Structure 1
């Protein structure tokens, strides 16, 4: 059974907190799946992020009864369906919707529609839009799991992929038909992320390599006990995601955390400071921008037990030694890279951050208060070598990450 490039776009509830100043024009093609019920909310999310939405409904999609709600969201001048009959208007309409926008997204895309588009069949308005398109196209399939797994569908998806059509792959779960398996329309946050990924890929960081470290590290006392910290990995996650949206080739050196993995990013999973050090060194020389946002353990036990340390009535004495200073080592090896460190402080904030910036040969340091550790929001100061300070007030970490990258580049 051919399962063509079945992948899952990242799941992230944080994306709803992110707002873009950029406005894009998006033609949203809607075909006849029960997942049409999710389209009004998708439109709202895209509009909240500043995008202008044009909707083209097929006859099968219209049968689900959401036309009035969708039309009320986009306005009647932005709503089109299969009822358009005037040939002149139809000709102008399908060319405009296919060539004068920034992206064509088919959500949801049925078994029938994907196979039609792969064959070049244009027997309705949306098919004509697909046939005439000169812009990036992205498809989000939604169907019964047995239909999704059919070789003919996978062949059609592969053919479209070879024409540089993007895919936001379906999720696995209980389907509307009562079966369980792959075929569910991707969650709304994945749809928004996927649409913006294909919309903005190759823009500000096109051709650049970005290296990010994220999460905590663990130093072991014995085979099952370790010392770590409460870093969630959220800031590194958002830095990687925003860099990817700007078109960068992103590598994320990922310490232990609970964040879902991001589609299209190169992951190197690590656990200990030594593993993180080696992974960062391996990618450092070829990187253009390096964001060291991981919270690396500063100390490690001088002695590690090969067997589990048994509980006793006596106190346990731990003797700790300094762990590797990854950021300082990278700073000593820096050539053309821009190196960005992070400082979480609870007193004398700017003084400590500026000392770290100087001693570790950084280009920028991002200062935040320790109280934001592990939270969904943050407030930071971005400081450069000339002591210029860009202050970013409390906001979602996605917003903070975007501002950090924009300041650095």
Structure 2
């Protein structure tokens, strides 16, 4: 899929530069032409000769070195590139590009190109979590730049945390996605729910859960990229609405059900990834409940089962559910598929490392109406989002053939 694509790879000064050798090898084997730009700090970690041998192209380091051919090299590469990838991307290079600094070959090329630009951050976990860096990343994301989330684990400095550069395989997948964007959802309308719900006890307290909405937002982002009209009906989260998505903010389960039904007839696909509270206080007090010496008892009543109600009226729509379990994952998920009339369910175990709430990755089982189980290994939530949408499109096409 990368045959004859021109990829400019920027390598900056980090120990993860050794992974970039594997990345170049993968891209060349996939048929791409790879030009490597190294910063001066990068050559302290790995020799330019290594990348030259792997890419069969001259490696560029010095912006003012006499060019092999008479052309302004950073402009030439910027125009030539189908995509620019910076891997590893240090805090320094992210900060420079975020603030419009162009003082070497890599940053000038990055500023001059109109091609998609992808960062694969790699650094100490404290640096990655630093508010200045995160602000720079947010700024670049808003401007349309792409980021591949770093992994978690033991870092070169000895710390354990988030900051490992994504694996070359994952970076190659991201490049593939960018250069070969699917538009198979162009004529589809999708409702996606995300995040938690909040069931009020009084004006200052509520019942909720630990959902951050990351999975639902990832699905919404990918669906929009693939051309769908997306209604993202979201409980309270700290996330920004993906580009091209119609965000509808709600609080309670009843709010969410009402807003889904407003757009239900228009949609062909409903993906319900929100973590909806099963119960709500029987009475939501108008005034704050004051603390007293005795215990407080709150009566809870059952919330509407939104997915079950949708299953009763879904007709030929595709309906996808999610299940978070702590025990008997397969049995409980299979039961929900049939009880709620789902096309398939995405199930995960809260206690599995790398899955569940507040993570950037997930490990799931996809179970269909026939009881077939697909075990999906650990991957980013954005990768899983694309996989879920692929399954949805397969069912859509199957339904159209059978009609």
With the shorter chain as reference, the TM-score category is 0.5 to 0.7
Tell me how far apart the structure 2 counterparts of residues 215 and 322 of structure 1 sit (CA, whole Å).
19
Secondary structure, counterpart of 1:383 in structure 2 = strand
User: Which of 223, 230, 236 is residue 216 of structure 2 equivalent to?
Assistant: 236
Tell me how far apart the structure 2 counterparts of residues 174 and 370 of structure 1 sit (CA, whole Å).
32
Tell me how far apart the structure 1 counterparts of residues 308 and 25 of structure 2 sit (CA, whole Å).
39
Q: What is the aligned partner in structure 2 of residue 72 from structure 1?
A: 50
Tell me how far apart the structure 1 counterparts of residues 337 and 199 of structure 2 sit (CA, whole Å).
25
For the pair 1:328 / 2:300, whether they are aligned, the reply is no
User: Which of 345, 353, 368 is residue 325 of structure 2 equivalent to?
Assistant: 345
Q: What is the aligned partner in structure 1 of residue 256 from structure 2?
A: 276
Alignment of 1:6-405 (within 5 A): 26-29=5-8, 44=20, 47=23, 51-52=27-28, 54-56=33-35, 64=40, 66=42, 69=47, 72-73=50-51, 75-79=54-58, 83-85=67-69, 123-125=71-73, 127-128=75-76, 145=99, 188-189=147-148, 198-244=178-224, 246-259=226-239, 261-372=241-352, 373-374=356-357, 376=359, 377-385=361-369, 387-398=370-381, 399-405=383-389
Residues 235 and 397, structure 1, Cα contact 8 Å, conserved in 2 = no
Residues 38 and 59, structure 2, Cα contact 8 Å, conserved in 1 = no
Q: What is the aligned partner in structure 2 of residue 178 from structure 1?
A: none
Secondary structure, counterpart of 1:294 in structure 2 = coil
For the pair 1:407 / 2:391, whether they are aligned, the reply is yes
Tell me how far apart the structure 2 counterparts of residues 49 and 272 of structure 1 sit (CA, whole Å).
51
TM-score of the superposed pair, with normalisation by structure 1: 0.61
**Stretch moving more, 330-339 or 371-380:** 371-380
Residues 196 and 208, structure 2, Cα contact 8 Å, conserved in 1 = yes
Secondary structure, counterpart of 2:255 in structure 1 = helix
Residues 217 and 271, structure 1, Cα contact 8 Å, conserved in 2 = yes
Give the number of aligned pairs. 326
Residues 194 and 232, structure 2, Cα contact 8 Å, conserved in 1 = yes
TM-score of the superposed pair, with normalisation by structure 2: 0.62
Residues 23 and 50, structure 1, Cα contact 8 Å, conserved in 2 = no
Distance 1:146 1:379, change over 3 A: closer
Displacement of 1:36: 5.8
Distance 1:50 1:203, change over 3 A: farther
Tell me how far apart the structure 1 counterparts of residues 26 and 245 of structure 2 sit (CA, whole Å).
25
Stretches of structure 2 that go unaligned for 5 or more consecutive residues are 61-65, 87-93, 103-110, 120-129, 151-170, 395-403
- Kindly report the root-mean-square deviation, in angstroms, between the aligned alpha carbons of the 2 structures: 4.7
Displacement of 1:244: 4.7
Greater RCO, CA 8 A, separation 6+: 1
> CA deviation digits over 1:18-38, x for unaligned, max 9?
xxxx6576534479xxx9658
Distance 1:189 1:210, change over 3 A: same
Secondary structure, counterpart of 2:274 in structure 1 = coil
Tell me how far apart the structure 1 counterparts of residues 38 and 189 of structure 2 sit (CA, whole Å).
44
Tell me how far apart the structure 1 counterparts of residues 21 and 270 of structure 2 sit (CA, whole Å).
31
Displacement of 1:307: 0.8
Tell me how far apart the structure 2 counterparts of residues 78 and 210 of structure 1 sit (CA, whole Å).
45
Displacement of 1:302: 1.3
Tell me how far apart the structure 1 counterparts of residues 146 and 77 of structure 2 sit (CA, whole Å).
25
Residues 228 and 297, structure 1, Cα contact 8 Å, conserved in 2 = yes
Residues 12 and 41, structure 2, Cα contact 8 Å, conserved in 1 = no
> CA deviation digits over 1:84-113, x for unaligned, max 9?
33x9xxxxxxxxxxxxxxxxxxxxxxxxxx
Secondary structure, counterpart of 2:275 in structure 1 = coil
Stretches of structure 1 that go unaligned for 5 or more consecutive residues are 1-21, 88-122, 149-156, 176-180
**Stretch moving more, 63-72 or 195-204:** 63-72
Secondary structure, counterpart of 1:229 in structure 2 = coil
Distance 1:335 1:230, change over 3 A: same
Residues 345 and 368, structure 1, Cα contact 8 Å, conserved in 2 = yes
Distance 1:361 1:182, change over 3 A: closer
> CA deviation digits over 1:7-51, x for unaligned, max 9?
xxxxxxxxxxxxxxx6576534479xxx96589859839929954
